[in-house]
Amino acid sequence: MPTVPMSRREKARRSLVFGAFMVVLALLYTAYKAFGQAIDDTQRDWWLVGSFLPRSDDKNMPRVLDILAEFGEAPRAGGTTIGRLTLDGALFTLREAAVGFAAGTVIGLAIAVVLLQSRRAERGVLPYVIASQTVPLIAIAPIVVVWGRTNFGFLPWEWEDWMSVSLIATYLTFFPVAVNGLRGLQSPSPEATELMQSYAAGRRQVLRRLQLPASLPFLFPALRIAATASVVGAIVGEISAGVRGGLGRLILDFAGKYITGPERLYVAIIGACITGLVAVGIVALAERLVLTRRGQLAR
Amino acid sequence: MKALRGGAWLPPTVFGAGGLGLWELVLWLTDPDGFVLPRPSEIAVALGENISEVWMASRVTGFIILTGLAGGVVLGVAAALVVTRFRTANETLTPLAVAINAIPIIALAPLFNNWLGITSPRSNQAVVVLLVFFPVFINTARGLTEVDEEQIELMQSYAAGDWRIMRTVRIPNALPFFFTALRLVASLAVIAAIVVEYFGGRQDTLGNIITQNAQFTRYDVAWAAVVAGSIVGIALYFVGLLLERLVTGRYARASTAA
Amino acid sequence: MAQDLVLEIAGLEKTFNPGRPNAVTAIAGLDLAVQPREFVSIIGPSGCGKSTLLRLVGGLIGPTAGDLSVNGRSAQEARLARDYGMVFQAAGLLDWRSAVRNVELPLELMGWSKSRRRARANEMLELVDLGGFAAHYPSELSGGMQQRVSIARALSFEPALLLMDEPFGALDEMTREYMQAELLKIWRETATTVIFVTHSIPEAVFLSSRVAVMSPRPARIAEEITIDLPERSPPVRDTEEFFRAVSLVRRTLRSVEGT
């Protein structure tokens, strides 16, 4: 779906709404903590909805202020703060995601360009591009890591485990790019194509001057989806592959030590959420820059 | 028409068979022990040998997927129907949902595990519901509001009320949007359900079969569980496609592509 | 004699899906000859294959049978030699290119240097009275302006033949008349040969030196009417000669449709 233009005022409004939402969420959380179902001796749930709602004690739901304070706490006195650990983890994860995203975009576009060349290829391969997403490759991340260690010896650089995680991010990323990219490449009108033919333009010229530029408004929404997907792939890949250094591992660690400090898990998860937003934000920014310059937003 | 239908099935079948054959052949030549990537035939054998275990796990995970999918779809559609009734709410909440959709919801799984109990299916369901909710809500809301103004004005010129306009213009307009989201979340739900099982919980799930067997390098069995997950995903995708054909087939055949 | 003709068509036939149950013969036994610097309009009942004819001439589709030569070459060869400037009903500008860069497009494909093509594109925009709009994007231009950019684009590389497929069909009446006058001006200044498909009789009469009337499917040129107007400027629309020519074309068209 081509992009919808957005004014600066609308943007400011949306940021405001998002900020207000965070506040409301924190207030609701606090209110539930005050009035929600607490642990009692009988452990009885509320009627009907009880099993869908958490207990409101400080272990299950730490106070908002405590969670915020936890950003500045250090597990060992004088050591790195939780906030810093989360930031480092986020940057590590973001790097994995970025590499995976870049590779996925290139592969997705390549698939789209190949499928564009022949209806038969499109009909034969597209179902498998779609089916590929039902293969939970993300779940076999450990296998991918082992596979990466043993099979990429031929590369000029040393294969590190985080690159295998990027590979998982790539797998989740290429799909929206391929599908939307193909639709975008096919979007020029028959007249535009005939016009290029009347100039005796070759296939590559048509691709470069007509089809690729025309696909951009279709591509960017896909890239935004891909940005989220690459972060998800990186985090989950780290968790299941046991790769250290990133947010996924941090979440797993803190989840394991939940009893001694539930706030830490919250910090790491908030970090993951922000990482996802940052990734999408970067793509949205690029979209704005590119499409405004090309007059495709000024409608 | 009949010739066309045959033509629609032939290329995927040829490519699929060719791809599997190539996979089998290349690995048979390069990696005969099947240490890392098993051959399709080995996966098939592993699936056959562990069919009862995989079947039981598919039922457990499938239950999570189906209930989560149903919950997320119902909530997403209901929210879209309510929110789009009010202009301000729609203009405020829909962009907000788009922003929230950018966060990696699967990362919330450990929180839900702590809140709702790690062994309870509730935490797994909650993650799937949440993951399904946003795309369904966003797409349906878009379909309900991005309606041709002239169609609305035409209905108003017939003195049609809001509800009548909803039924005759907005909902039919939203259907292709909704089904696009449904196909998307069908495979997302499978991935989410399996990944959430990664964070712990019951032992008899697809996610667990994959982890356990991968740990002990029984990759063929892990792959058999992956295949089972894919089958669930593909089945859900086709159910979505079938529903779309049934509901919109008569007037919107063209919109079913991709 | 044949050398002097820009376009020569003899016994042209076009059948879509030949040999299948859904075969349609759009054009059969069509003859047409166009001299250099002529402005020929092609008019006919809707769905008779006017656009098909234009695409055959432009080498975008191939004929089933018959001869078609442009400056002594086949339509395919002529297309590859970039003999054609085409203008369609939809202006077909690329959204992501400014007006001047749209005009530059064919020159880019032909490998002109940047400075040379920029100079030419600006010159062409001046010709269509859009000198001040070079940096505007298509979305910032009116329908008539977009179509003028499209004409500038088609003329930028001085094609041997300008092929126009209902170029003003989507414009309102006022804009349309203005564009017609503008096109005549450009035609005079550039000495181009034009083949112009339309379904508006006054438009065909006002613009052309010759109107070719097509028959219903399978189409051929049923009648050719030479238009002889004392002058070609807007006031001529209100003269008796103009009305007479219009009604002659109208009567011909009716008689053709009746057969």
A166 Rama class: left (phi>0) / alpha (psi -120 to 50) / beta: alpha
Distance in Å, alpha carbon of A88 to nearest chain B alpha carbon: 17
Query: With pLDDT > 70 as the criterion, what percentage of chain A qualifies?
Result: 89
Determine if the pTM surpasses 0.90. Answer: no
A176 C-beta neighbours (distance < 10 Å), count: 24
Q: CA distances (Å), C172 to each of C59, C163, C177, C179, in order?
A: 31, 21, 9, 10
Q: Is residue A281 part of a domain?
A: yes
Q: What does CATH list as the number for C2-83+194-258?
A: 3.40.50.300
**A228 vs B103: CB contact, 8 Å cut-off?**
yes
The CATH number of residue A194's host domain is: 1.10.3720.10
Whole-number pLDDT of residue B35: 63
Total domains in the fold of chain A: 2
Residue B37's contacts (CB-CB under 8 Å, 6 or more residues apart) are A143, A147, B27, B31, B219
Q: How far is C33 from chain A (nearest CA, A)?
A: 21
User: Distance between CA B61 and CA A27 in Å, rounded?
Assistant: 34
Q: For chain A, what is the mean pLDDT? A: 84
Residues of B in contact with A272 (CB under 8 A): 103-104, 107
Residue C32, pLDDT score: 93
| Contact between C106 and A199 using a beta-carbon 8 Å cutoff | yes
| % of chain A with per-residue pLDDT over 90 | 29
Closest among B179, B201, B220 to B48, alpha carbons compared? B220
Which pLDDT does position C2 carry in this prediction? 47
* Residues of chain C positioned with their CB less than 8 A from the CB of A195: 86, 88, 92
- The residue ranking higher by pLDDT, C42 or A240, is C42
Phi/psi at C161 (nearest 5 deg)?
-140, 130
The predicted model gives A258-279 an average pLDDT of 90
Do residues A168 and A272 share a domain? yes
Measured CA to CA in angstroms, residue C171 lies from A99, A177, B112, B197, C177 at distances of 50, 38, 61, 62, 9
- Is the pLDDT score of A54 beyond 80? no
Range of the domain at A85: 79-293
Which residues face C223 on adjacent strands? C213
Q: Of the candidates A187, C17, A232, which has an alpha carbon nearest to the alpha carbon of residue B102?
A: A232
pLDDT at C231: 81
Whole-number Å distance between alpha carbons of A197 and C112 = 18
Which portions of chain B are predicted below pLDDT 70? 1-8, 31-36, 249-258
Chain A positions touching B15 (Cβ under 8 A) are: 124-125, 128
Rounded CA separation B2/A107 (Å): 35
- How many other β-carbons are positioned within 10 Å of the β-carbon of residue C29? 15
Name which of A276-280, B13-17, C161-165, C253-257 the model is least confident about.
B13-17
Does A53 lie in the same domain as A89? no
The position carrying tokens 């032939």 is B10
Look at residues B107, B102, B103, B101 and name the one whose alpha carbon lies nearest to residue B132: B101
Q: Is residue A181 part of a domain?
A: yes
- Does residue B160 contact residue B168 with C-beta atoms inside 8 Å? yes
Interface touch A200/C109, C-beta < 8 Å: yes
pLDDT at residue C259, rounded to an integer: 56
B241: DSSP letter: H
Instruction: Measure CA C128 to chain center.
Output: 16
C in contact with B (at least 3 C-beta pairs within 8 A): no
Q: What is the mean pLDDT of residues C127-137?
A: 90
pLDDT-derived band of residue A40, with 50, 70 and 90 as boundaries? Answer: low
pLDDT at B258 (0 to 100): 34
Q: Which of C47, C73, C75, C31 is nearest to C163 (CA)?
A: C75
Q: Which domains does chain B have, with CATH numbers?
A: 45-256 (1.10.3720.10)
Cβ atoms A131, B186 nearer than 8 A: no
- 44-63 in A: which are within 8 Å (CB) of B? 51-55, 60-61
Q: Do A160 and A281 belong to one domain? A: yes
Same domain? For A47 and A86 the reply is no
Nearest-neighbour CA in chain A from B10: distance (Å) = 8
Q: Is C200 in a helix, a strand, or coil?
A: coil
Query: Does residue A167 belong to any structural domain of this protein?
Result: yes
Is the confidence at residue A45, as pLDDT, over 70? no
Could you tell me the residue ranges of all domains in chain C? 2-83+194-258
Q: Phi/psi at B11 (nearest 5 deg)?
A: -60, -45
Which candidate in B4, B37, B42, B114 is best for mutational testing of the A interface (most A CBs within 10 A)?
A: B114
Residue type for B74, please? V
Q: Is B21 exposed, middle or buried (0-12, 13-18, 19+ CB in 10 A)?
A: exposed
Rounded to whole angstroms, how far apart are CA atoms A56 and A63? 10
Asked if A147 has any chain B CB less than 8 Å from its own CB, the reply is yes
Cis amide bond preceding B104, omega within 30: no
Report the gap between the CA of C162 and the closest CA in chain A (Å).
11
CA C192 to chain centre: 11
Question: Where is pLDDT greater, at A45 or A232?
Answer: A232
- Note whether A227 contacts B: Cβ–Cβ < 8 A: yes
Residue pair C117/C107 in contact by the 8 Å Cβ criterion: yes
CA of A287 to nearest chain C CA: how many angstroms apart? Answer: 14
Instruction: Note whether residue A74 is domain-resident.
Output: no
pLDDT confidence band for A267 (50 / 70 / 90) = very high
Q: Is there a single domain that holds both residue A93 and residue A140?
A: yes
Q: Give me the pLDDT at residue B28, please.
A: 78
Give yes or no: residues A143 and A185 share one domain.
yes
